[in-house]
Structure 1
Amino acid sequence: MTAPFSLLMSVYAGDDPEHFERALSSSTRAQTVPPAQVVLVQDGPLGEALEAAVLAAVEASPVPVETLRLDSNQGLTAALTAGLERCEHDIVARMDADDISLPERFARQLPLLEDGRDLVGGGMLEFADEGGRVLAQRTPPIGAEQIRDYARFHQPFSHPTVVFRKRAVLAAGGYQPMGRMEDYWLFARMIAGGAEVDNVAEPVVMYRVGTGAYSRRGGREQWRSEMLLQRAFRRIGFTSRREYLRNVAVRGVYRFVPEGLRTTLYRRFIARGGR
């Protein structure tokens, strides 16, 4: 008998109605171990089509859905912070509005939390936005020691896959603004604070790769977020000076290489947990 848990999702006007319906259904109805509660944050006005899809999906959900509407689009950090307050259970699973949870996702992850972990991620399958063809598999670092070492260079968790203890997230200060890297910043603070962490090697989520998925990982804005993050890591002592210089050099260059090369580097190294 697994502990009850909440599913936390955010949806905004840029999300696709069909993708949202599939994301919610795959994380509730299709799960061998479904959540006990869904907290759905509507991050600003959604538009007629998406609003209708949300209403229909909520009505059809076999799991009770609490909908929280924000008057304006405030971004993911604010949406998840507001939604986390409404989660009734200490164990909370994250899900994005355009991905697909595999049926055994929570059955694989929850035993690790019940065994004492505070944060558990998992592998992902990247699939094409059109046609559904699997493009690559992301295998994360496994085990607390490898995750802690890897985290000083790169994000050790895929945010759409994580399940965590609400009290551990709040103890670390919750989601905080950090450019486009608020998830990495949160998980680093959790690790630095002594949270017990792990990953499931097997894929638990199918991650939709649409047009521009890898172009968004580059550019000047992403580089600015990178520099903010690396300085924050040094400020809390998460990285050494040597690690800071390495990260600025390697990760900074990565933000400006051509998109094709960035995709290849990500899939061959970073997406394999650094192996």
Structure 2
Amino acid sequence: MPSALPAVSPPAVSVALPCFNAASTLPAALDSLLAQTLQDFEVIAADDGSDATDGGATWDVLCAYARRDARIRPLRLPHQGVALTWNAAVNACRAPLIARMDADDLCLPERLALQAERLNAEPGLDLVSGLVRFGGDREKRLGYALHVDWLNTLRDHEAISRNRFVESPLANPSVMFRRAAWERLGPARANTGAHAFPEDYEQWLRWLSQGARMAKVQAPILVWNDPPTRLSRTKAEYSLEAFARIKAGYLWDWLRRHNPQHPRVWAWGAGRVSRKRLDALLALGLEIEHYVDIDPRKVGQRVHGVPVLGRDAVPQRLSDAAAETLAGTPAQTPFILVNVASRGAREEILEWLAGRGYQPGAGCVAVG
């Protein structure tokens, strides 16, 4: 009687890599994975039904790499969009730790080792990202490059959590998380219905709202490229309006738990662009009692009936105990939305508010 085949142990790390019409960038992405110092991994490379313009080239690249290295495991799917393809790739992963990778980015050699080491050393963490390098023309793509600079300042859970309503605090292809966290907190949600949304940002907002703990390794782990075909530049679900809509729902729920005066707030930033960013929250029922601004042309005016105050009108924040004693007097303890897009100005405002007793999550929150 033949003996049973030995059980195949799962790898230490699985990499989930969704791809679509990606034949031109896949080789470099896969080569960067095969060059990792941590060798015990697999790559679930899921072809999201690449279309006729691709001519099967993406699948051919994946199969060629799989013949060279058994750690590359291609998965061919009908076209269903990045969220469902990402979910299918994760579901096929066998390791307890799962990393995300995109087909147009590059992993630095220590990436998987550094992230796995951090997760294994800190059982309380659900997800670990890392610092990223901007891969593009900084002069021509300055906005994206500045976003990368900002991401790299958010290094611990507290910074990631308190900045989640400004922009997505994680570079999606840089994350590694526990399979147990995925099973507990839920997969990516597909874009369905009338309003598209950025599935990665929604997932991390949802995970944070459920108590996920996140951090970053203190070293660059990924080159985050910015080609003209990047989905964030070409798809409706990554428009500014889509980001604002998905952010508003989670911010509204957060304010309901953290703002004693909910739904009343003061909004720092009375300019037209700043006010426009609050439209989705206003539609949910947000009430702006006062705007705060430093522009002398705005101070003392009214915007749609709402007074605009100078910053010196912001009262000293009461202690939590005093605020509880004076419940029902919201004018003395306003909750402030710091709604200023300029990153340097935002940090200056938060520092100034700290001198008045306001801390992110306790009296104020930064939004973008």
- TM category (shorter chain) comes to 0.7 to 0.9
1:66 to 44, 68, 73: 73
State the AA in 2 paired with 1:30: A
Larger CA deviation: 232-241 vs 188-197: 232-241
Q: Does 1:37 align with 2:42?
A: yes
Task: Using the TM superposition, give the Cα deviation of residue 6 of structure 1 relative to its aligned residue in structure 2, in angstroms.
Answer: 0.4
2:173 to 129, 139, 160: 160
Q: Is the counterpart of residue 8 in structure 1 residue 16 in structure 2?
A: yes
Structure 1 residue 194, shift from structure 2 partner? 1.6
The alignment partner of 2:239 has SS state of: helix
Counterpart pick for 1:191 among 188, 208, 222: 208
Shift of 1:82: 1.1
Q: Would the aligned equivalents of 1:140 and 1:199 in 2 still touch at CA under 8 Å?
A: no
State how far apart, in whole Å, the 2-side matches of 1:243 and 1:230 are. 17
User: Higher helix share goes to which structure?
Assistant: 1
Letter in 2 for 1:48: G
Say which of 215, 219, 229 aligns to 2:246: 229
Match of 1:261 in 2: none
The 3-state SS of whatever aligns with 2:59 is helix
Cα 1:220/1:185, change in 2 over 3 Å: closer
Work out whether 1:126 is the aligned partner of 2:143: no
Native 8 Å contact 2:62 2:74 kept in 1: no
Which digits, 9 at most, give the CA deviation of each residue in 1:152-203, with x for residues without a partner?
A: 3221111010001122123222101353421111112212212221012322
Q: Which has the higher contact order (CA 8 A, sep 6+)?
A: 1
Return closer, same or farther for 1:48/1:34 CA change in 2, 3 Å cut-off. Answer: same
Which of these residues, 20, 25, 32, is aligned with residue 26 of structure 2? 20
Larger Rg: 2
* Residue from 144, 148, 151 that aligns with 2:161: 148
Distance 1:44 1:107, change over 3 A: same
Amino acid in the other structure paired with 2:43: V
Cα pair 2:45 2:62 within 8 Å, conserved: no
The alpha carbon displacement at 1:66 in A equals: 2.5
* Equivalence for 1:169: 182
Alpha-carbon deviations, 1:217-261, whole Å to 9, x = none?
Answer: 8989713312330233146437765789779964966xxxxxxxx
CA shift digits 1:87-144 (9 cap, x unpaired): 1112101100011100011222112211221101111111238xxxxx9563140111
Equivalences for 1:64-143 in 2 at 5 Å? 64-71=71-78, 73-114=79-120, 115-116=122-123, 117-128=125-136, 136=145, 138=149, 139-143=152-156
- Residues 181 and 244 (structure 1), Cα distance of their counterparts in 2 relative to 1, 3 Å cut: farther
CA RMSD after TM alignment? 3.7
Aligned-partner SS, 1:126: strand
**Cα distance in structure 2, aligned partners of 1:250 and 1:108:** 39
CA contact (8 A) 1:39 1:87 kept: yes
Separation of aligned partners in 2, 1:175 and 1:99:
20
Q: Which amino acid aligns with 1:93?
A: A
Matches of 1:99 and 1:183 in 2, distance apart? 16
Count of residues in Structure 1 that have an aligned counterpart in Structure 2: 251
Question: Separation in 1 of the partners of 2:217 and 2:109?
Answer: 14
Letter in 1 for 2:49: G
CA contact (8 A) 1:18 1:53 kept: no
Closer/same/farther in 2, CA of residues 242 and 84 from structure 1, 3 Å limit = farther
CA distance in 1, matches of 2:210, 2:169: 16
Q: Which residue of 2 aligns with 1:209?
A: 226
Distance 1:34 1:197, change over 3 A: same
Q: What code does the residue aligned with 2:186 have?
A: G
- Corresponding letter in the other structure for 1:85: N
Q: Indicate the SS of the match to 2:216.
A: strand
Q: Which residue of 1 aligns with 2:5?
A: none
